Amino acid sequence: DSGVTQTPKHLITATGQRVTLRCSPRSGDLSVYWYQQSLDQGLQFLIQYYNGEERAKGNILERFSAQQFPDLHSELNLSSLELGDSALYFCASSVDRRAGNTIYFGEGSWLTVV
Amino acid sequence: GENVEQHPSTLSVQEGDSAVIKCTYSDSASNYFPWYKQELGKGPQLIIDIRSNVGEKKDQRIAVTLNKTAKHFSLHITETQPEDSAVYFCAVHFGNEKLTFGTGTRLTIIP
């Protein structure tokens, strides 16, 4: 158990809908990262937050947004969903924002868009 | 750019034999190189990492070697066991705060 908690574990929704994925980082971790993993694909970086502020953006679509709250949990919002958004979405956390800190991953949220 | 190439994409080895997975990266300023293991339906789990000030690190049956001059690092698993079957990802910190991952290697241990 990495200590990173993600909910929901599984989600099925229809095209055009909006969903919110939730992440609680490890206790004491200030940085939160979101990654997307499509079927048989690698891990694509979406976005990073540190202590409530956005730090880096990767290949995140404009239909997607995220935020980190004062209690350090984070949410990834996916809107106007398309079939191609079906993927495993991972949240990860690290103690701070320095390069070289261990990044721990949650178990992921499986999103299926039908 | 921030590129990480990982080879091979699939690897099958007989139980008890060794497995080697190699990654190359683009930025010589990179200084942190972790390896993650991902089992089916689970999140990636850190199994070993190495920093740029050392050339090799070992943890029981797992070792990582780093060649900064050639910009490549490798994962070595010795005495492989069925539970080593998984997808393995290398990753690199390119001086910023996020990890860039390789494309993964599906390792199958044949009993």
B26: left (phi over 0), alpha (psi -120 to 50) or beta: alpha
Looking at residue A99, its pLDDT comes to: 67
Looking at residue A110, its pLDDT comes to: 96
Q: Which residues of B touch A (CB under 8 A)?
A: 31-32, 34, 36, 42-46, 49, 51, 89, 93-104
Q: What integer is the mean pLDDT of B15-41?
A: 92
Task: Report the gap between the CA of A13 and the closest CA in chain B (Å).
Answer: 19
Task: List the single residue in A with minimal CA-CA distance to B33.
Answer: A100
Looking at residue A92, its pLDDT comes to: 96
Task: Report the gap between the CA of A39 and the closest CA in chain B (Å).
Answer: 11
SS3 A13: strand
Q: What integer is the mean pLDDT of B96-106?
A: 87
Select from B43, B96, B98 the Cβ nearest to the Cβ of A105: B43
Looking at residue B10, its pLDDT comes to: 97
Chain B residues lying within 8 Å of A107, measured CB to CB: 42-43
What is the residue-averaged pLDDT of chain B? Answer: 92
Select from B44, B103, B104 the Cβ nearest to the Cβ of A105: B44
Beta-carbon neighbour count of residue B19 at 10 Å?
A: 19
DSSP H/E element including A43: none
CA distance B74 to B51: 13
Q: Which of A90, A103, A112 to mutate to test the interface with B (most CBs of B within 10 A)?
A: A103
Per-residue model confidence as pLDDT tens digits over B44-82: 999 999 988 889 999 999 999 999 899 999 999 999 999
pLDDT category, B98, cuts 50, 70, 90? confident
CA distance A47 to A58: 6
Residue B31 above 80 pLDDT? yes
Nearest to A101 by CA among A46, A53, A48: A48
Hey, are the CB atoms on B97 and A102 less than 8 Å from each other? no
Residue B1 above 70 pLDDT? no
**How far from the centroid of its chain's Cα atoms is residue B105's Cα?**
9
* Residue B82 phi, psi (nearest 5): -55, -35
- Low-confidence residues in chain A, pLDDT < 50: none
Hey, are the CB atoms on B97 and A4 less than 8 Å from each other? no
SS3 content of chain A, % helix, strand, coil (to 5): 5, 50, 45
Select from A43, A48, A104 the Cβ nearest to the Cβ of B89: A43
Beta-carbon neighbour count of residue B2 at 10 Å?
A: 16
Select from B32, B44, B97 the Cβ nearest to the Cβ of A55: B97
Chain A residues lying within 8 Å of B87, measured CB to CB: none
Spatial CB neighbours of B60, under 8 Å, sequence gap ≥ 6: none
Nearest to A91 by CA among A19, A42, A18, A31: A31
Q: What secondary structure does DSSP assign to A1-24, as a single string?
A: --S-EEE-SEEEE-TT--EEEEEE
What is the residue-averaged pLDDT of chain A? Answer: 93
